[in-house]
Amino acid sequence: MTTPPYDSYASDPSYPSYPEDLEQPGLVRTGRSTFVRPIRPEDADRLVAFVGGLSRATLAYRSLGPVVRMRDDVIRRGAHVDYLNELALVALAGDEIAGLVRYVRDPEEPDHAEVTFTIRDDHQSEGFGRLLLEHIAAAAWARGIRVLEADVLADNTRMINVFLGSGYRVEAGPPGQILHFDIAIDPQAHAVARAERREHTAVRRSLRPLLEPRSVAVIGANRSPLTIGHEIVANLLRGGFEGGVFPVNPHAGQVAGVRAYPRVRELPEVPDLALVAVRAEAVPEVVRECADAGVKAVVVVSTGFGETGAAGRATELELARFARASGMRLVGPNCMGVVNTTSAARLAATFSPALPAPGRVAMSSQSGPLGLAVLDLARRLRLGFSGFVSVGHAVDVSTNDLLQWWDEDPETSVILLHVEHFGNPRRFARIARRVAPRKPIVAVHPGHEDAAVSSLFAQSGVIRTHSLQELFDVALLLAHQPPPPGNRVAVITNAGGPAALTVGACAASGLRVPALGEPTRETLRSALPPRADVGNPIDLTPMATADHYRQALAAVLADDEVDAAIVLFMPPLADKADEVASAILDAASAVPDKPVVTSFLGDGGVADLLRRGELVVPTYTFPESAAASLGHAAAYQAWRSTPAGVVPDLTGVDTDRARSLAGGCAPGPVPADVAVELLDSYGITLADAESRGPDAFLSVSADPVFGPVVSFGLTGDYADLMADVAYRITPLSDRDAREMVRSLRAAPLLAGVDLAALEETVLRISAMVEDLPEIEALELRPVRLLPPGDGVAVAHVTIRLTDNSPGGSPS
């Protein structure tokens, strides 16, 4: 598509330092999508139309008094800004401006700026003011502005409530006809929390037409079975969707037995959701038709976009921007659709031949073709799904959005993610940290040596797996059994070889197979045949009966020193799998707070035997998979049981001094004396000392996707030869710093050092690079680790800056 049938919002390099990074999608309180971007010179006509459409009351609030109509040429000049000392952002509704915010820097106080807001009358009370405040505050902060000043008429309660409810520190002048507000836009925790709550509500409202639509249109519905458009219609009908299903095909009267319509605008009602399955070059016009008709969500299953190269990627980004500006959410392109099996929807808006049974697991996949295999595997494992969304290229609706939907879905208890790339890793971390304590998140990501991804998952409580099989193994456990309260496991078997493999797999998975206490051993001796081994593993011998399994499992689950059980069954000559399965269910049902997993080696179809009503005991073909899944669940429970960390307020930090020092340096290496002063601004003093213990290093590198990544390790062979280095992504909490320092394999060598001082140094460096985003690289080496009470001594520091000014580029 060389010429889109709608405005392209791509940045024009001829604009003076046009800040492309400020082009961002947005959601207002009602869930309506919009697109926020800096104003541009060609917006002059839009600006005239916007002002001309304002009511006299709105104009009075804007001008703080009697209405005076401005001349068009004056209004047009408002479309020309320098993006630094004057900046205006517009929120778009289709091709029109729905809201406008503008700041003008105070030449007398460069860290202050006057800000004004104007919202079109038909969009007031929707939340545009609060959204624009968040965007202008972030942009102003990045440009060195710390306080936004606003004058508001005393009866303009909507704008007053926006300021007071923002979470920023707000000071109001004395009561009068006009109120003056000073808004300190320092991104404090409570302001961030309020913004996140607003975003969470808006995201959920925006996704309801996608995941719980009242009616669905399928554009490109085909009369021929086994075609994508036909199968989507067939699955919607087969899946039990209770709303209207409207095939759209100008050349067909019916599709899958349902009346078809030639165009979207001729449908008997406006559908909430439209699935688009037409050739790539026709997609933009179809999306425009959907927007004109008032459709709220679009799923583009069509291929031929970003996977074809740069031009295709540009086209799909334009699609997303247009959809957002038109108030729609968009899934895809290059995806396989959306499934919601909950009682609120029964939606099978996909062409997949395999539809999942209802269950407690929800999944987001970034690969369309992979989704087909995923749903087929889930069906074969009898793993039920509450929802499945194939986000494809994820140009709009993303994993982050879906996490916020499933967070509050009462029919979802486990969330699975297939993640190839992160659109906004920091937002992912914030959302995952909020969701994971209540609902386990299990993710598979390609690659094994990507320290930044591993760190992001570890900090967020996400269970990382390295294959789809492992992902589903863990899901099978967490969907049906509680995570274990600890890592102590009892192994019950009727064959010694598999038991030995299981013990080894437990050790590799962070689990312990401890010796059983004498009371439990005595109970086992009295219940089992004389030849049985009542140690751990508990070997029942090949002559074991189902009753022996029942009594052995009951005994170990009753032991306070056992957190979980792995039960192995090697079928002897006489097949007793059904009896043994029934015995396991009996014992497991009596102790529902301890997980039980099984491996019935060589026995197919046993999964059906280990189900009784709501009780399901997961079974695995090989015991190593059972142990690995249990290990992941135990590690997750340990994370969930540890108090959540906080980003502490550090004493002795002079942020203004640090910004002044950094601002006086050119991009590149910072002079040694300035680097020392920067450290001192964050309470870190450069001082060498005699080393009485190990030396360490602490470094920061700017990852292009994840932002600042902090690395910590001991100097010498530990890091260089053994790759014993810990990583975390800023901002670090006190918990992050503590876990980072203690996660090294060489951590026992730190027993005699001042760990508290070391962790505080880590936190100060994290705060420094958060406050000074122009820091491209930083290294403290060596860091002398001194005895408890003596702190640490940083002997040398190097810092490198990049060009972080608006319009600048990394050096």
E strands of 268-323, at which residues? 273-276, 297-300
In the predicted structure, residue 20 carries a pLDDT above the cut 60? yes
Question: Can you tell me the distance from the alpha carbon of 398 to that of 331, in angstroms, rounded to the nearest whole number?
Answer: 8
Architecture of domain 20-187: 3-Layer(aba) Sandwich (3.40)
d(CA 325, CA 314): 17
pLDDT of residue 456: 86
pTM of the model: 0.89
Least confident of 185-189, 429-433, 590-594: 185-189
The yes-or-no verdict on residue 348 having pLDDT over 70 is yes
> 206-479: what fold?
Rossmann fold (3.40.50)
What is the average per-residue pLDDT within 461-490? 95
pLDDT of residue 421 exceeding 90, the answer is no
* Residue with the larger pLDDT of the pair 601 and 179: 179
Residues 670, 413: Cα–Cα separation, whole Å: 50
Decide if 498 contacts 620 (C-beta within 8 A). Answer: no
Using alpha carbons, select from 155, 140, 244 the residue that is nearest to residue 187: 140
Quick one: tokens of 694? Answer: 């190990």
Residue with tokens 């039960």: 567
Mean pLDDT of the chain: 91
Is 783 within 8 Å of 792 (Cβ atoms)?
A: yes
**Which pLDDT value is given to residue 325?**
94
pLDDT at residue number 144: 86
So what's the pLDDT on residue 11?
A: 43
Rounded CA separation 417/414 (Å): 10
In one-letter notation, the amino acid at residue 126 is: E
Contact 662, 682 (CB under 8 A): no
Rg (CA), the chain: 30
Contact between 748 and 723 under an 8 Å Cβ cutoff? The reply is no
Looking at residue 717, its pLDDT comes to 77
Which residue would you say has higher pLDDT here, 326 or 703? 326
Q: Hey, what long-range contacts does 652-657 have (CB within 8 A, 24 or more apart)? A: 652/682, 652/683, 653/681, 653/682, 653/683, 653/764, 653/767, 654/681, 654/682, 655/681, 655/771, 657/681
Q: Does residue 13 register a pLDDT over 80? A: no
DSSP letter at 323 equals: H
**Predicted pLDDT at 7:** 40
Q: What is the mean pLDDT of residues 419-428?
A: 85
Residues 6+ apart with CB under 8 A from 133: 101, 117, 162, 163, 166
**Residue 453: pLDDT band with limits 50, 70, 90:** confident
Q: What's the mean pLDDT in 134-147? A: 92
Q: Where in the chain do CATH 3.30.470.20 domains reside?
A: 655-801
Cα separation of 104 and 109, whole Å? Answer: 11
DSSP characters for 724-742? Answer: -EEEEESSPPHHHHHHHHH
CATH superfamily entry for domain 655-801: ATP-grasp fold, B domain (3.30.470.20)
Give the confidence band of 8 by pLDDT, cuts at 50, 70, 90: very low
**CATH 3.40.630.30-classified regions of the chain:** 20-187
With a pLDDT cut of 90, the percent of the chain lying above it is: 75
Mean pLDDT across 750-759: 94
pLDDT digits (tens, 9 = 90+) for 491-532: 999 999 999 999 999 999 999 999 999 999 999 999 999 999
* Cβ pair 50, 100 in contact under 8 A: yes
**CA separation for the pair 380, 187 (Å, rounded):** 49
Residue-wise pLDDT for 157-216, tens only, equals 999 999 998 888 898 888 788 999 999 997 666 677 788 888 999 999 999 999 999 999
What the block records as the tokens of 322 is 């247009």
Long-range contacts of 250-253 (CB under 8 A, 24+ apart): 252/221, 252/222, 252/223
Helix (H, G, I), strand (E, B) or coil at 200: helix
Query: Residue 629: enclosing H or E segment and its boundaries?
Result: helix 623-641
**Predicted pLDDT of residue 62:** 82
Q: Of 268, 272, 274, 273, whose CA–CA distance to 286 is shortest?
A: 274
Q: Residue 763 corresponds to which tokens in the numbers above?
A: 């936190």
User: Residue 160: its pLDDT value, please?
Assistant: 93
Beta strands across the sheet bearing 147-153: 24-27, 33-38, 86-93, 96-105, 112-119, 147-153, 178-184, 169-172
Task: Name the segment(s) of the chain with CATH classification 3.40.50.261.
Answer: 206-479, 484-641
Q: Report how far residue 136's alpha carbon sits from residue 104's, in angstroms, rounded to the nearest whole number.
A: 11
What is the reported pLDDT for 809? Answer: 40
Q: What sign results for the dihedral spanned by CA atoms 57, 62, 64, 67?
A: negative
Collapsing DSSP states into helix, strand and coil, what is residue 160?
helix
Instruction: Please give the backbone phi and psi of residue 651, each rounded to the nearest 5 degrees, phi first.
Output: -85, 160
Q: What angle do CA 243, 246, 248 make, to 5 degrees?
A: 160
DSSP, res 521: H
Sign (positive or negative) of CA dihedral 604, 605, 611, 612: negative
Report the alpha-carbon angle 83-84-87, nearest 5.
45
* Residue 235 CB neighbour total at 10 angstroms: 22
Q: Is the dihedral of CA 265, 270, 275, 280 positive or negative?
A: positive
User: Bridge-partner residues for 170, per DSSP?
Assistant: 183
Q: What number does CATH give the domain 484-641?
A: 3.40.50.261
**For residue 740, which of 752, 727, 753, 729 has the smallest C-alpha distance?**
727
Say whether pLDDT at 300 is over 90. yes
**Exposed, middle or buried by CB within 10 Å (0-12, 13-18, 19+), for 459?**
buried
Dig out the tokens for 46 from the structure. Answer: 């839009």
What is the pLDDT averaged over residues 226-230? 96
Q: Which of 710, 510, 775, 708 is closest to 628 using CA atoms? A: 510
| Average pLDDT for 720-746 | 90
pLDDT at 189: 61
The pLDDT of residue 3 is above 90: no
According to the model, what pLDDT value does residue 44 have?
Answer: 96
β strands within 391-522, DSSP E: 414-418, 441-444, 463-465, 489-493
Q: Is the pLDDT of residue 10 over 50?
A: no
Contact between 631 and 506 under an 8 Å Cβ cutoff? The reply is yes
> Which tokens belong to 560?
């306070």
φ/ψ bin of 614: left (φ > 0), alpha (ψ from -120 to 50), beta (otherwise): alpha
Average pLDDT over residues 736-742: 94
Strands 297-300 and 329-331: parallel
In angstroms, the Cα distances linking 209 to 12, 111, 169, 297, 316 are 34, 43, 36, 6, 21
CA–CA distance, 578 with 609 (Å, rounded to integer): 6
- Describe the crossing of helices 189-211 and 128-142 by its angle, rounded to 10 degrees: 130
- Whether the ω angle into residue 618 lies within 30 degrees of 0, i.e. cis, is no
Q: How confident is the model at residue 675 (pLDDT cuts 50, 70, 90)?
A: very high
Candidate from 387-391, 440-444, 450-454, 760-764 with smallest mean pLDDT:
450-454
pLDDT grade for 808, boundaries at 50, 70 and 90 = very low
Residue-level pLDDT at 308: 92
List the structure tokens of 579: 């009896």
Residues 6+ positions from 401 with CB-CB distance below 8 Å = 203, 206, 207
Q: Quick one: CA dihedral 393, 396, 397, 399, positive or negative?
A: positive
Q: Which residues pair with 100 in a beta bridge?
A: 90, 118
Query: Is residue 1's pLDDT more than 80?
Result: no
Give the model's pLDDT for residue 609.
Answer: 82
List the one residue out of 582, 510, 524, 512 whose CA is nearest residue 557.
Answer: 524
Tell me the three state secondary structure of residue 648: coil
pLDDT of amino acid 64: 76
Please give the structure tokens belonging to residue 432. Answer: 């995952």
pLDDT band at 425 (very low <50, low <70, confident <90, very high): confident
pLDDT at 807 over 50: no
332: left (phi over 0), alpha (psi -120 to 50) or beta: left
What pLDDT score was predicted for residue 806?
45
